[in-house]
Structure 1
């Protein structure tokens, strides 16, 4: 069903859960895992004019390479080939472009599960990708570890049995 699974990363700590989920799918489907890091050039438009773009670009690319090394490390226990790429541009557009250009069958990415005013103000790369990508997108909720765990099948059965 899947031959190429794209897993974008922002280098955050939550990436591990997303990569492991994508790697499990890749292993089951004998698919390739493709890690992608997008250097978001738009966020650095406000830098002082004295700042050298080449220096900033080099630092950002190094961060990307480090994030992609983590993807390779997190996927290592799974028997899947991994390839990686660093691109520049708006993250949601580059993720969609990469998924479609590289003939990926699935995009697996993290989402923080923000809602309400947070989502309105902050936006969501994952939401924009879901809305504009012709490739299926699977989101893996990350963060919010302090929230209560969702009920499991066992706990739902226990709740039903106690009524």
Structure 2
């Protein structure tokens, strides 16, 4: 019992010193957006869909790159996206960044622009109305005013204009 206690007391300073030794941490490389705004895309090229526009100065952890190191896959607030190396400043050690082959990438291409949808021409007292898309993601209803009704026919009365 006494020898066990003596062993514990003698090893206590060694254990304290050993516990204070810093353990090196691997720092993941980052890129810093070096333009006022940068489009982060669903794939490594300008033909891919823009996922998010990042403000200048954003620091993004790098997850992978293309073989030619021209595009980096980064983690953004809305998910993973690709950024062009010409618009970012690399920081850190990129030695162990994995390379992704272009054949392995299954990114989403931009959807074709939807066709214009015309409203029925019968009884439009406030002018012609059409839903005309201005981009591939939204449609705009251009009319002077719209009657809000409780049912989908004109005899139901108007709630508000």
Specify the TM-score bucket, using the shorter chain as the normaliser.
under 0.3
TM-score, structure 2 normalization: 0.27
Larger Rg: 2
The structure with the greater share of residues assigned to helix is 1
TM-score, with structure 1 as normaliser = 0.27
